[in-house]
Amino acid sequence: MNTKTVILVDDEPAARQNLKDVIEGFDDLTIIGEASDGKSAIAQIMIKRPDIVFLDIEMPELNGFDVAKATQEINYQLIFMTAYEHYALKAFDTKAIDYLVKPARPELIIRSINKMLNQHAHYQAHISTERLILSDHAEQKIIEFNHINYIESIGRYRRVHLTQSGKHIHNTETIISEKTLDGFEAKLPDSQFYRLHRSYIINATRLVELKYQARKHFVRLAGTDEDIPVSRGFVSTLKARIAHND
């Protein structure tokens, strides 16, 4: 059995206990940490690298959104817990996969956990661990797919934008390549990477927002404030893929 690790973050002990009572009924979930404030939550997430985080929003000093932003490069599934419904829209601007209003009934927590476990299984089945080899000046760099945020075409060259972990490993934010976007598209798995515009390929696992403004569609990815355009012909396909993954 592939056990998933869990961290609970809430400044109310009763709320954490309510979650624990439900989570302990799942054989494939193990609680590895608890935090009652934002600073402690960030430290635990960074050190313990959980698979799943249940995160309260209103907490002393740093709130749940601060925690989510500070740990956005850690690959975990996020469920927000809050007593206030008006946070829902902002919550889904993050990488959260669900939003529960406290006090959440056990059946709602169970449904949210099952949704999360199904999404994790889908992710494991479809995300490739293959790598690309790219020439960067006189060097050959080996880039894991999960370290690519998006790829941008600029004239004769392509700019590969890296995730935070990719930047740390390769000591650079971007890599310039002469490989065409068609060449990248042929190498990258279409379950993870979307050619959503003639000049852009994105890592769909990094997608946090699809928005419509000035009569055009754009996406935003984790780790960047860049508005990446979506071609008109790909909008319906992108929406269908997002709906399918929910």
- The domains of the chain, with CATH numbers, are 4-126 (3.40.50.2300), 131-245 (2.40.50.1020)
Residue 6 has a pLDDT of: 94
Residue 125 has a pLDDT of: 47
Q: What is the pLDDT of residues 84-98, one digit of tens each?
A: 655 555 544 556 777
Between 199 and 61, whose confidence is greater? 199
Residue 126 has a pLDDT of: 46
Q: Can you tell me the distance from the alpha carbon of 168 to that of 199, in angstroms, rounded to the nearest whole number?
A: 26
H/E segment holding residue 225: none
Q: What is the pLDDT of residues 130-152, one digit of tens each?
A: 678 787 666 677 888 989 999 99
Q: What is the pLDDT of residues 190-205, one digit of tens each?
A: 888 999 999 999 999 9
**Which residue carries 């392509």 as its tokens?**
158
Name residue 143's beta-bridge partners.
132
Residue 199 has a pLDDT of: 95
Name residue 124's beta-bridge partners.
none
Between 7 and 75, whose confidence is greater? 7
